[in-house]
Amino acid sequence: MAHQVCPWWLGYFLTSPLRRWLSDPADIVAPYVREGMTVLEPGPGMGFFTLEMARRVGPAGRIVAVDVQPKMLEKLKQRATKAGIAERVDARLATSDSLGIRDLKGIVDFALVFAVVHEVPSPGNLFMEMTEALRPGALLLLAEPKGHVKQNLFESELEDAAKAGLTVVDRPAIRRSLTALLKK
């Protein structure tokens, strides 16, 4: 789903310890990710959130990380292997028009969509694919960077999510982000 995608080399900055100091992935995912869950993460980059979620889901859980950039996925796999949790991470290469997650229909417990919707050519299609993968009652945390996404664009994304069958249930606070917690 390529559309003004963050350059792969920027992934090194996005996984830096400085970013963790500014917004700790553990604090962000802790309320939502538990042992044994199946989690979907489109646009994982090099795994800033992926590794933390893989630790939380434990050996019985699984993170499906989908990206359009092979170099991002390659580095993500290396980082997961180094952390000893590679078997929990299913890294998939998306195409320009699909996440390639049809096999996940109705089994995903949680989806983290962090700073990615503004990069895809069709947010409506993205939300439709994710909604199909979510089990009934599953949650999706949507966060967009305030510096890149204005409030009106974020509200448009929420309209696309609603058309796909998702309902806003909360607006959690995440530093420097526009956020919404959605439920199927």
Domains annotated for the chain, with CATH where assigned, are: 8-183 (3.40.50.150)
Taking the chain (184 residues) in consecutive chunks of 10 residues, what is each chunk's mean pLDDT?
48 52 85 98 93 97 95 94 97 91 98 91 94 98 92 97 98 95 98
Token couple for 14: 């996005």
Q: Could you read off the pLDDT of 152-173 as tens digits, one per residue?
A: 999 999 999 999 999 999 999 9
Token couple for 172: 């959690």
Q: Could you read off the pLDDT of 136-148 as tens digits, one per residue?
A: 999 999 999 998 7
DSSP letter at 120? S
3-state secondary structure of 8: helix
pTM of the predicted protein model: 0.88
For tokens 């390639």, name the residue. 100
DSSP letter at 78? H
Cα separation, 141 vs 113, whole angstroms: 6
Cα separation, 177 vs 131, whole angstroms: 22
